[in-house]
Chain A
Amino acid sequence: MDSREQDLMTRVVKNPNWWYNDHLAAGEVLLDAIEFYVYTDSELGAGAMEAGDLDGVSTSSIDAAMILRELADDGYQVVEQDLGEETFAMMNTSKAPFDDIRARKALTYATAKADYLEFIGQGELRSADSWFPPESIFHNPDVKQEADMPEMAAPLVAEYCGDNPDNCTDGKINMEFQYSGPSVIQDRIFDVLSAGYEPYFNVTKDMLLQDDHITQTAIGMYDFLTWRQMGARNPDGDGVWIVCDAIGVLSLNWPRFCDPARDELVYGARGNTDRDEVVQAWKDVAANVQESYTYVMLTHTLWNATYDPKLRGMCDFKFPDGTEPYCRGTGGGYGSYSTMWFEE
Chain B
Amino acid sequence: MGFILKRVAQMVAVILAATFLAFAAMNSLGDPLFNVVGFHASVDCDAVLAGEIEDVSGQGGTDVGDCEVVEAAREKYHLNDPLPLRYVRWVGDVVQGDLGVSFKNSMPVTTIIGNRIPKSIFLMVVAEIFALLIAVPAAIRAAYKANRAFDKSATVSSFGFISLPNFALGVILFYLFVVKWQIFPSRYEDDDFFSRLRSTVLPAMTLALPLAATYFRLLRTDLITTLQEDFVLMAKAKGLSDRWIMFRHVLRPSLFSLVTVFGLSTGGLIGGALVVEQIFVIPGLGRTFVEAVIRDDFPLVLGLVTVISSSFIAINFIVDMFYSVIDPRVSRET
Contacts and interface: CB of A to CB of B under 8 A. Distances in A.
Given A5-B283, A50-B179, A41 B294 contact: no
A8 B282 CA distance: 7
Nearest to A212: B295
Given A219-B39, A221-B39, A221-B42, A39 B60 contact: no
Interface string B38-69: 11001000000000000010011000000000
Given A37-B281, A41-B278, A209-B295, A47 B186 contact: yes
B185 A5 contact: no
Interface string B165-209: 000000100110011001001111010000000000000000000
A53 B186 contact: yes
B33 interface: no
B242 interface: no
Contacts of B290: 182
B178 A249 contact: no
A39 B294 CA distance: 20
A215 interface: yes
B281 A38 contact: yes
A7 B281 contact: yes
A9 B290 CA distance: 20
B35 to A, nearest CB: 9
Nearest to B182: A51
Nearest to A48: B186
A66 interface: no
B93 interface: no
A52 interface: yes
Interface string A39-61: 11100100110111110000000
B281 to A, nearest CB: 6
A33 interface: no
A37 B295 contact: no
Contacts of B171: 44
B217 interface: no
Given A8-B188, A40-B278, A51-B178, A209 B283 contact: no
Contact of A44 (B39, B186, B294): B186
Nearest to B171: A44
A209 B281 contact: no
A137 interface: no
Tell me the dominant secondary structure on chain A's binding face.
Answer: loop
A38 B188 CA distance: 10
B283 A6 contact: yes
B174 A47 contact: yes
A39 B38 contact: no
A250 interface: yes
Nearest to B170: A44
B98 interface: no
Given A40-B278, A209-B291, A249-B59, A48 B178 contact: yes
B287 interface: yes
B39 A7 contact: no
A208 B294 CA distance: 7
A207 interface: yes
A5 B190 contact: yes
B279 interface: yes
A221 B43 CA distance: 13
A304 to B, nearest CB: 17
A20 B76 CA distance: 44
A38 B294 CA distance: 20
A37 B283 contact: no
A48 B280 CA distance: 11
Contacts of A47: 174-175, 178-179, 186
Interface string B117-159: 0000000000000000000000000000000000000000000
A54 B182 CA distance: 13
B312 to A, nearest CB: 24
A215 B39 CA distance: 9
Given A40-B281, A47-B174, A249 B39 contact: yes
Contacts of B174: 44, 47
Interface in A1-49: 5-9, 37-41, 44, 47-48
Nearest to B35: A212
A212 B293 CA distance: 13
Of B182, B281, B287, B290, most A-chain CB atoms within 10 Å: B281
Nearest to B278: A40
Contacts of B188: 8
A7 B284 CA distance: 9
A8 B188 CA distance: 8
A5 to B, nearest CB: 6
Contacts of B279: 40-41, 44
Contacts of A5: 190, 283
A219 B59 CA distance: 11
A249 B295 CA distance: 22
B280 to A, nearest CB: 8
A215 B38 contact: yes
Interface string A280-304: 0000000000000000000000000
B187 A52 contact: no
B83 to A, nearest CB: 25
A9 B282 CA distance: 11
Contacts of A212: 295
A85 B324 CA distance: 66
10 contacts: A5-B190, A7-B281, A7-B283, A8-B283, A37-B281, A47-B174, A53-B185, A53-B186, A54-B186, A219-B38
Given A40-B281, A53-B187, A215-B38, 7 more contacts: A8-B188, A9-B187, A37-B187, A44-B186, A44-B279, A212-B295, A249-B39
Leading 4 A-B pairs by shortest Cβ distance:
A48-B186, A7-B283, A219-B39, A53-B186
Interface of B: 38-39, 42, 56, 59-60, 171, 174-175, 178-179, 182, 185-188, 190, 278-279, 281, 283, 287, 290-291, 294-295
